[in-house]
Amino acid sequence: MTTNGEVAGLLLAAGGGQRLGGRPKALLAYRGRPLVEHAAAVLRAGGCGVVHVVLGAAADEVRARAELPGCVLVDNPQWAEGMGTSLRAGLASLAAAAGQGPGPAAAVVGLVDQPGVPPAAVARVIGAARSGDDLLSALVSAAYGGRRGHPVLFGAARWAGVAGSAGGDMGARAYLREHTEQTVLVECGDIGDPSDIDTPADLRLLDGTGGPAAGPYTAPPAGPDDRPDNRPHDRPDDRPDDRPGTAPDGDSAARRATKR
């Protein structure tokens, strides 16, 4: 057992932004730079070592325009088939790195389209994992108003299981459902806002007219589908714009599991 070891970052940034007019989320402008740069920087500032960034839509353009020094860029040619493909691609990249020498003991999964999630949320999740019995088997998720969200940390011993259950549009939902009792929730609603960018109206999160509120995050009222295994922000998936029940649109078929 170990409480030490590197914690890597895994940033899911492959979404094509179909409902944003086909604007890849990684390239949305945020504070004058591509959003993917900000999201990668959040993981690093929160305590992650090497960040693996999964690209899909407009991958060549992202590589050309975004400055991501020290990151491992992972291509997912199957990104349009669903969020599960990006999660699997990222975990495969992490496993390959571990096979070449001492690898990370855990990885924090983050989403490119949540600018309101700060480095402090990443740090809280990592801190909770390190305070447990074994970082290699840790399973820790941020929570906002009591609802599971991102970032989510998976110990390296869990990667194969997560990848094996990440089919199609499910992301890590099935795995988290099966391991609910083992998941440690860390409240981050006092420091962050998990709102994501899916529609043109959500672009306000990038221009200063929306985003994290001055006070604690307040979760929306629970609906009939607001269960522990099907929550609005439960999706380490590559969630571009799809929702459960929507038809495939070239961005993904449906999503929301842990966050993309």
In a domain, 220, yes or no: no
pLDDT beyond 90 at 137: yes
* Residues 39-79 pLDDT 10s: 999 999 999 999 999 999 999 999 999 999 999 999 999 99
> pLDDT per residue over 199-236, tens digit each?
999 999 998 654 444 456 666 655 433 333 333 344 44
- 62 versus 247: the higher-pLDDT residue is 62
Quick check: is 180 in a domain? yes
Q: What is the chain's alpha carbon radius of gyration, rounded to the nearest angstrom?
A: 16
Going 232 to 19 to 44 to 60, the CA torsion angle's sign is: positive
Task: Supply the pLDDT for residue 217.
Answer: 61
More confident residue, 251 or 35: 35
227 falls within a domain:
no
Parent domain of 55: 7-207
Asked whether residue 34 is domain-assigned, the answer is: yes
The distance from CA 77 to its chain's CA centroid, rounded to whole angstroms, is 18
Supply the DSSP symbol for 227: B
User: Residue 67's domain is classified under what CATH number?
Assistant: 3.90.550.10
Would strands 139-144 and 184-187 be described as parallel, antiparallel, or unpaired?
A: parallel
In this structure, is residue 255 part of a structural domain?
A: no
- For 146, half-sphere exposure in the C-beta direction (CA atoms, 13 angstrom radius) is 8
Q: Is the confidence at residue 192, as pLDDT, over 90?
A: yes
Buried b (16+ CB within 10 A) or exposed e, 20-41: beebbbbbbebeeebbbbebbe
DSSP code at position 221: P
Q: What is the pLDDT, as a whole number, of residue 228?
A: 34
User: Full-prediction pTM beyond 0.85?
Assistant: no
Q: In 72-224, which ranges are continuous DSSP H helix?
A: 83-99, 119-130, 159-165, 173-178, 204-207
Instruction: Tell which residue, 91, 112, 101, has the closest CA to residue 205.
Output: 112
